[in-house]
Amino acid sequence: MMSRNSPDEIILSEGEALGLARDFLTAHGLSAAQAEAVASALCAAQRDGCASHGLQRLPGTLDTMAHPAFNRMADPRPEAVTPAVTRVDADYGFSILAAERGLPSLVANARRLGVAILAVNNGFHSTALWPVVEKIATHGLAALSMNPTHDWVAPSGGTKGTLGTNPIAFAWPRAGHPPYVFDFATSAAARADIALHRQRGQEIPAGWGLDPQGRPSTDPAAVLAGAMLPFGGHKGSALATMIELLAGPFIGDRTSRQSAAFDKGAKAAPCHGELILAFNPDLFQFDSAQPDLEGTPQDAAEDLFSRITQQGARLPGDRRYAARAAAAQHGIRVPKALYERILRLFPQQE
């Protein structure tokens, strides 16, 4: 695969990308289990063309691992809270391992009971949400996931950072197709996008944020120092508030404000909870009292998807699946500068 390298890009096989990330993390003292979980999530994002949550996050794991509370040896274990509710304390390691360890109980409980909850607590979170919801959907279940971040986002109508960028992801299982998956932040733009504009000396679009005086601004530096804005005005603001509540106080964990305070300037990934729900879509069927409904609920879902795509719109997830297919054929593209930076950041051998 390395033979197709260009001056700006290195092409890695999935095994090579995974090996690079895994070796980097274990070389910096992370447990093998955590390294595998983080490396898999970052490589999946790189493979699927989600650069913001791909290998670009690897150097930043060093800041997270340097946080005084970070636990390189965290070994999270799921515990049953009720028959429908599982909790996994990430024990101040990366939250992705805790989520993965809780998935078997979540899936089994949702199959048995129709709906189940997985609460992940005390995890440093730096990964996209789609890898987990997509995995749940491959078990024939619908899934939702959400978490707070840091209080960078002003509520609609307000001026001060109060809400997180609070991502939400949803997956729906499909027979014969990869799951329908969406996954996005509830802020108008990702914080990393604003930082990228600053780095390139570009203005940001109106509506992304406010300067430190609370005035609308297109200056990325002013917005990073001031407050970001939610997408969709009061609607995004309310959705982000719901995420604060459900993935914060509801599961006994930090709000975005509390998570930012916990960071104490370390610039680590935010440390907080994550709420993951799974639903069994086989629970309800159309019944004979609904003679206008033909087929099964899954047929109705497929009809909805085809009505979306037939008019030229695309389904969320389809770009990723296309990128995944391309990576399977041609390898995973990694900017050369990033690849070399990662190599330079390996600990020096004595």
317 binds ligand NDP (CB under 6 A): yes
125 binds ligand NDP (CB under 6 A): yes
Q: Which residues of 143-176 are buried (b: 16+ CB within 10 A; e: fewer)?
A: bbbbbbbbbbbbbbebeebbbbbbbbbbbbbbee
Query: Of residues 287-306, which lie at the interface with ligand NDP (CB under 6 A)?
Result: none
Considering only the stretches 172-180, 297-305, 312-320, 333-341, report the one whose residues sit in contact with ligand NDP under the rule CB under 6 A. Answer: 312-320
CA dihedral 209, 211, 216, 217 (to 10 degrees): -80
Q: Give yes or no: 330 in active site.
A: no
Q: Give yes or no: 263 in active site.
A: no
Q: Which of 11, 20, 128, 154 binds ligand NDP (CB under 6 A)?
A: 128
Of 23, 63, 91, 193, catalytic: 193
53 binds ligand NDP (CB under 6 A): yes
Rounded least distance, CB 238 to ligand NDP, Å: 17
Q: Please identify, using beta-carbon distances, which residue of 25 and 109 lies nearer to ligand NDP.
A: 25
Q: Give yes or no: 193 in active site.
A: yes
Rounded least distance, CB 295 to ligand NDP, Å: 25
Of 31, 40, 48, 53, catalytic: 53
CA-closest candidate to residue 343, choices 8, 3, 19: 19
Q: Which of 14, 100, 183, 263 binds ligand NDP (CB under 6 A)?
A: 183
Scan for tokens 């990694």, then name that residue. Answer: 334
319 binds ligand NDP (CB under 6 A): yes
Please, where are the H alpha helices in the chain? 14-27, 32-47, 61-65, 95-113, 130-137, 191-200, 220-225, 234-246, 256-263, 297-310, 318-330, 336-344
Considering only the stretches 152-160, 208-216, 309-317, 332-340, report the one whose residues sit in contact with ligand NDP under the rule CB under 6 A. Answer: 309-317
307 binds ligand NDP (CB under 6 A): no
* Distance of alpha carbon 92 from alpha carbon 115, whole angstroms: 28
CA dihedral 57, 107, 146, 143 (to 10 degrees): 110
Query: Of residues 83-102, which lie at the interface with ligand NDP (CB under 6 A)?
Result: none
Q: In what order do the strands lie in the sheet with 180-184?
A: 78-82, 85-89, 115-124, 271-279, 142-146, 168-172, 180-184
Which residue numbers are catalytic? 52-53, 193
Residues of this chain that interact with ligand NDP (CB under 6 A) are 52-53, 125, 127-130, 147, 149, 165, 167, 169, 182-185, 190, 314, 316-320
